[in-house]
Chain A
Amino acid sequence: NAGVTQTPKFRILKIGQSMTLQCTQDMNHNYMYWYRQDPGMGLKLIYYSVGAGITDKGEVPNGYNVSRSTTEDFPLRLELAAPSQTSVYFCASSYEGTSTDTQYFGPGTRLTVL
């Protein structure tokens, strides 16, 4: 199992550009999440999904969009990139989404907006 994979690993965008961060998991997990990690600030939830076709906003959804057409894939779309979106983005998944469930994280995408 590859687990959770993310592409790209690094990206530099200009202000106003758009891009899609890819996330794929091969563990047949129902639940998937997108977080951003800013220095010293821990993780902030952007969007999550409880299954194909179902998504919902997290704590910091503005400026982002997601879709979940398959169990495996959960891409994150940035529209009109802004310097405030400079961050490290992590995708994660879990099987049941219960309180005892473990989250599995991808390696992250480091995004810089200039």
Chain B
Amino acid sequence: GDSVTQMEGPVTLSEEAFLTINCTYTATGYPSLFWYVQYPGEGLQLLLKATKADDKGSNKGFEATYRKETTSFHLEKGSVQVSDSAVYFCALSALGGSYIPTFGRGTSLIVHP
């Protein structure tokens, strides 16, 4: 079945550091890929997505590129802020009408001033 593997957290960084959170997936067919973010005490919200190979999703300074050859969708940001502290979830949704996304376990990011 479909699955998503994320790097274990927490990831602890100083403000203005470079961020990478790794995400790899296993899926039949050609899924869409998502990053969701969960700020403390809140529900998940979409951060960015990519729907086909080589697409780059971007939002709020975050980027991720859909790499079919390595089945990866790593999240990056060039300079993190304290306000980026949150839990980040990688997810996939398989092409063909599947309406149940598969989520990774989440990676906690802690940014210190």
A48:B42 contact, CB within 8 angstroms: no
Q: Does A71 contact B (CB under 8 A)?
A: no
> Min CB distance, B32 to chain A, in Å?
5
Most chain A C-beta atoms within 10 Å of own C-beta, residue among B42, B44, B96: B44
Q: Name which of B17-25, B64-72, B75-83, B101-109 contacts chain A.
A: B101-109
Given contacts A103-B44, A107-B43, whether A50 and B99 have CB atoms under 8 Å apart is yes
Prevailing SS type, chain B contact patch? loop
What chain A residues lie within 8 Å of B99 (beta carbons)? 31, 48, 50, 94, 97-98, 101
> Min CB distance, A88 to chain B, in Å?
9
A98:B97 contact, CB within 8 angstroms: yes
Measured as residues with beta carbon below 8 angstroms from the partner, the interface class of chain A is: 20 to 34
Name which residue of chain A comes closest to B34, CB basis: A102
Name which residue of chain B comes closest to A107, CB basis: B43
What chain A residues lie within 8 Å of B105 (beta carbons)? 40-42
In the complex, which residues 27-83 of chain B have their Cβ closer than 8 Å to any Cβ of chain A?
31-32, 34, 36, 41-46, 49, 51
Report the separation of the CA atoms of residues A4 and B45 in the bound assembly, to the nearest whole angstrom. 11
B46:A106 contact, CB within 8 angstroms: no
- 12 more A-B residue pairs beyond the given contacts A97-B97, A99-B31, A105-B45, with a C-beta to C-beta distance below 8 A: A42-B89, A43-B44, A43-B89, A45-B100, A90-B43, A99-B32, A100-B93, A101-B93, A102-B46, A103-B46, A106-B43, A107-B43
